[in-house]
Amino acid sequence: MAALKYSRQREAIIDFLQTRKDHPSADMVYMNVRKEFPNISLGTVYRNLTLLSDLGVILRLHLEDGVDHFDATTAPHFHFYCTQCKSVLDLDLEDSPSLVTSAQEQFAGKIQGHATYFYGLCDQCIHK
């Protein structure tokens, strides 16, 4: 595969995601990157987010709200999704090798990884 051509807009998207822990949607990325690049289109942002997630530079999270969320942290970690305010938070949990081992014992193929999302109410929504 040919090397990915450098793009200032793509770099701005990555930089924005690296400053966030709230897993923004493509629309939120677009609104913030437009501050630096007023002529950037939503389509350009979507195409770059898709490319970056396909290359493994960022993570694309598919949650029950139907909106893709993006995360610059690509190391294995867990997420919590608040069903009320729709926020997405990182959970600082250690990965359980026994979960993958148990799954592999029940599956004839080869498991290479997993995505686990926890759902419920965040602390702020509980105290509203």
What CATH number has the domain bearing residue 23?
1.10.10.10
**Is residue 85 predicted with pLDDT exceeding 80?**
yes
Question: 28, 58, 74: which is the final residue of a domain?
Answer: 74
The dihedral formed by the CA atoms of 97, 100, 105 and 109, expressed in degrees to the nearest 10: -140
pLDDT attached to residue 1: 43
Could you list the residue range(s) of the whole structural domain that residue 100 is in?
A: 76-128
pLDDT attached to residue 113: 80
Strand (E) or helix (H) holding 105:
helix 97-105
Q: Who wins on pLDDT, 5 or 32? A: 32
* pLDDT (average), residues 56-74: 93
Question: 36, 53, 74: which is the final residue of a domain?
Answer: 74
**Is residue 2 predicted with pLDDT exceeding 80?**
no
Pair 70, 87 in one domain: no
Reported as a pLDDT band with limits 50, 70 and 90, residue 3 is low
Pair 62, 103 in one domain: no
Cα distance between residue 18 and residue 49, in whole Å? 13
Pair 51, 34 in one domain: yes
Contacts of 5 (CB under 8 A, 6+ apart): none
* pLDDT (average), residues 62-75: 91
Pair 15, 56 in one domain: yes
pLDDT in tens, 92-111: 888 777 888 889 999 999 98
pLDDT in tens, 11-60: 999 999 999 999 999 999 999 999 999 999 999 999 999 999 999 999 99
